Structure 1
Amino acid sequence: MSDTVAVRGFVATDPRHLVTEGGLPITSFRLVTTHRRYNRQASAWEDGGSNWYTVSAFRRLAVSAADCIAKGDPVLVSGRLCLREWTGDKQGMTVEIEAESIGHDLTWGRSDFTRAAAGEGTADGRADGTTVATAEGTDNAATPPEGIPAASP
């Protein structure tokens, strides 16, 4: 199954960036969305259930996401929704979004846009030509706002 979706949520894990042997840059992270509703009796907002997605970005988007996105960031992700069943000791389903675009949710703050340099897009996607085998994201201590889980299940 593959459908186009737009999802608003928080980056729940440090983005993981790698470059395949064939030179394809890939960045992935977990995204959590938590539905909030107003409880009139308690006169307070309450968290509903959370949905978890694995977001994967490729090529130039992967490089930009690795450089700009950090754990705890509020983001908007648009892309193809893919449901992948898996089996092993247990059975389950992975919900993945193959991102076509990713951006910061400006409801929560400000973001400065910088256009990618013309030289970006080398074999590993970096403008300086350095080769990146793997990078586990940034050591950013940012945490999601209150009520948003800090780690994926």
Structure 2
Amino acid sequence: MNETLVTLVGNAATAVEFRETATGGMARFRFAVTPRRWDRGKQLWADGRTSFYTVWSWRTLAANLAGSVSVGEPLVVHGRLKIREEEQAGQRRTFVDVEAVAVGHDLSRGTSAFRRTARAEGDLTERPERITEGDTKDEPNQPERAAVMAAVS
């Protein structure tokens, strides 16, 4: 399949809108990308023209975006580029969307704390290997690993 995958670095321009649908959650938000260039004549950095994208996400990614992203936060968005044209009020308009595959905070501009979400057994595409108590005897973090594995089981 020929898809155009892009990775964009920018900021959340709007709040994440989340909706529950028949097939799972759906979220969208506007994303602003402003290139910076070094102006040799003025000897300083100059901002270029800002491009705006609508970022769409589905299911688990959508729910996690709604709980994790606020307006103005620096993000890295990776996904499928979609260009669509529509006619509105007699004018032809072009919209650029990204169907997100992955979204994360841009750690070059701040810190973030990751929290894994619990998944329902039916959400797993593969069944994880079970670790028995005998498998954790010689490991330094045995109690923590056993607790995590009990939660997964």
TM range (shorter): 0.7 to 0.9
Instruction: For 2:33 and 2:88, locate their aligned partners in 1 and report how far apart those are by CA, in whole Å.
Output: 27
Match of 1:26 in 2: 26
Q: TM-score, normalised by structure 2?
A: 0.74
Give the alignment of 1:72-151 within 5 angstroms: 72-89=72-89, 90-119=91-120
Normalized per residue, the structure richer in helix is 2
In the alignment, is residue 11 of structure 1 matched against residue 36 of structure 2?
Answer: no
The CA RMSD over aligned residues, in Å, is 1.9
TM-score when normalising by structure 1 = 0.74
Unaligned runs of 5+ in 1: 123-153
Moved over 6 A (4+): none
Query: Given that residues 2 and 83 in structure 1 are in contact (C-alpha distance below 8 angstroms), is that contact kept between their aligned partners in structure 2?
Result: no
Secondary structure of 2:96's match?
strand
Kept in 2: contact 1:29–1:56 (CA 8 A): yes
Residues matched between the structures, number: 121
Structure 2: gaps spanning 5 or more residues: 124-153
- The answer (yes or no) to whether the contact 1:17–1:62 under 8 Å persists in 2 is yes
Aligned-pair distance for 1:41?
2.1
Q: Which structure's relative contact order is higher, taking Cα pairs within 8 Å and 6+ residues apart?
A: 1
Query: Is the radius of gyration larger for structure 1 or structure 2?
Result: 2
Residue of structure 2 equivalent to 1:63: 63
> What is the match of residue 137 of structure 2?
none
**8 Å CA contact 1:36, 1:47 repeated in 2:** yes
Q: Secondary structure at the match of 1:102?
A: strand
